[in-house]
A and B are shown apart, each in its own frame.
Chain A
């Protein structure tokens, strides 16, 4: 920078007294550039690994019309989870009582405890979890619930269509109105 002024002076004398040009050091300090390079590398590596989507495997059973081909589940080992809107989960153990007395409400943050209690109290070979997403639940709810099975190491679980009495019970509890007698609902089917 210091030599800039000399060039612009206009009265540069040439001759015996010529000033020797100062030998400039051409070495450039590369350290900041290296820093920048590695910073960018780290940035790119981190961002690429995060964007990698993963895949959850799902195996479906084949639909059969013949009842003898269908998998049997022991009522004592069954836990039915019904997914509904607003991330609520309704559940009952075994068979739904006609008066709806074993029909309980929960949500996604508490359902793990319910599952763990069920796993603890049931013989592993009888345990089967039935997941019934209601029509007003979302894809996310279904995936989260299937994921919950993986997290808790449940080997037998099924994705089943929800039945009419169950929908009525959910509607009744969501509407805040008194639950209609499920026995009547079942009879009407």
Chain B
């Protein structure tokens, strides 16, 4: 009695479909990932245990660099023109509609109000944090940031704006205080500080809270 012959099957698996899928996913993730714009203003933010992602819509961001310069930026392009219009009305800085159009392309603003017209016509390659003077925010008498925040509040009235501060680790505290003062003068008492996430120390009150499933605000 002979055994029935078992047909030898090839172990070759067609990987083409698998490969297709891998690259499909890869291209999907690359395309959906938001490219981080090359930052003209480089800031190394402090760490915090906060795990809430920073809002990226309707952002009104105040950036403070290491050397204490203050920059102001809006995430929505249309709002930038509005902001310039508002500043023009409030401070009579002699801007034209052409300047408002230029403002749309500016990722951030960082010049005293009296030189803002020439700032708006700067070519993109000169939009570097270390070359620009920044918004004067020295003390309570010379704090132009108050005007900027006031203008932002005006253009966002009735809507939600996300006021944020992004400061470098080494920003001296008095500058941060001047920024807070500018917010306070405009009754903007709620804001967010942009940070990098760091792990919660084990055994602390917060980690115990997390273990119990209580969400942190």
- Our pick among B189, B200, B216 for the contact of A61 (Cβ within 8 Å) is B189
Q: Report the Cα distance A51→B19, complex, angstroms.
A: 28
Q: Are A56 and B195 in contact (CB under 8 A)?
A: yes
Q: Are B169 and A56 in contact (CB under 8 A)?
A: no
- Give the size range of A's interface with the partner: 35 or more
Q: Report the Cα distance A142→B148, complex, angstroms.
A: 24
Residue of A nearest to B204 (CB): A151
Binds A, one of B21-29, B111-119, B121-129: B21-29
Task: Please name all residues of chain B whose beta carbon is closer than 8 Å to the beta carbon of A36 when the two chains form the complex.
Answer: 22
0/1 string, B184-217, CB within 8 A of A gives 1? 1001011111111100110011100100000011
- Our pick among B15, B52, B170, B217 for the contact of A139 (Cβ within 8 Å) is B170
Q: Give how many B residues have a beta carbon under 8 Å from the other chain's beta carbons.
A: 59
Residue of A nearest to B17 (CB): A30
Q: A29 → chain B, closest Cβ, in Å?
A: 7
Q: Are A153 and B26 in contact (CB under 8 A)?
A: no
- Our pick among A61, A62, A141, A152 for the contact of B173 (Cβ within 8 Å) is A141
Q: Are B204 and A54 in contact (CB under 8 A)?
A: no
A24 at the A/B interface (Cβ < 8 Å)? no
B2 at the A/B interface (Cβ < 8 Å)? no
Residue of B nearest to A83 (CB): B173
0/1 string, A56-67, CB within 8 A of B gives 1? 111111110000
Q: Are B15 and A33 in contact (CB under 8 A)?
A: yes
Q: A171 → chain B, closest Cβ, in Å?
A: 16
Q: Are B50 and A55 in contact (CB under 8 A)?
A: yes
Q: Are A135 and B174 in contact (CB under 8 A)?
A: yes
Q: B100 → chain A, closest Cβ, in Å?
A: 29
Q: Are B216 and A30 in contact (CB under 8 A)?
A: no
Q: B55 → chain A, closest Cβ, in Å?
A: 7
Q: B19 → chain A, closest Cβ, in Å?
A: 4
A–B Cβ pairs within 8 angstroms, 30 of them? A27-B12, A30-B16, A30-B18, A30-B19, A37-B25, A45-B29, A53-B53, A53-B194, A54-B197, A55-B52, A55-B193, A57-B192, A57-B217, A60-B189, A61-B189, A136-B173, A139-B46, A139-B64, A139-B171, A139-B175, A140-B170, A143-B48, A143-B195, A146-B48, A146-B193, A150-B48, A151-B49, A151-B201, A151-B206, A152-B205
